[in-house]
């Protein structure tokens, strides 16, 4: 059980980026009315930004 939770907590910033930041970014893009080039879905942009940001936070250990 300790190994499972330890592994989960190591990737928690990535999961936070994908599970919370991505939908938040997508909703902000939708509410501001930004037209994305090529008909890209706002959620795709949110997943890309949230995934990259969460991945960097996972690797470096900090968000900024």
Q: Which residues contact 63 (CB under 8 A, 6 or more apart)?
A: 13, 53, 57
Bigger pLDDT: 5 vs 54? 54
Instruction: Parse the chain into domains and list their residue ranges.
Output: 2-60
pLDDT in tens, 11-40: 999 999 999 999 999 999 999 998 888 989
- Could you identify the residue written with the tokens 């330890």? 6
- pLDDT (0 to 100) of residue 7: 81
Residue 7, token pair as written in the block:
């592994």
Using DSSP, state whether 11 is helix, strand or coil. Answer: coil
Tokens of 51: 């995934």
For residues 32 and 14, give the distance between their C-alpha atoms in angstroms, rounded to a whole number: 26
d(CA 61, CA 10): 9
Strand, helix or coil at 41?
Answer: coil
């Amino acid at each position: 059980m300790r190994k499972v939770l330890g592994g989960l907590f190591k990737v928690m910033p990535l999961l936070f980026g994908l599970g919370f930041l991505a939908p938040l970014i997508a909703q902000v893009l939708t509410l501001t009315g930004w037209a994305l080039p090529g008909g890209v879905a706002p959620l795709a942009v949110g997943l890309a930004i949230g995934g990259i940001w969460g991945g960097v936070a996972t690797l470096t250990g900090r968000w900024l």
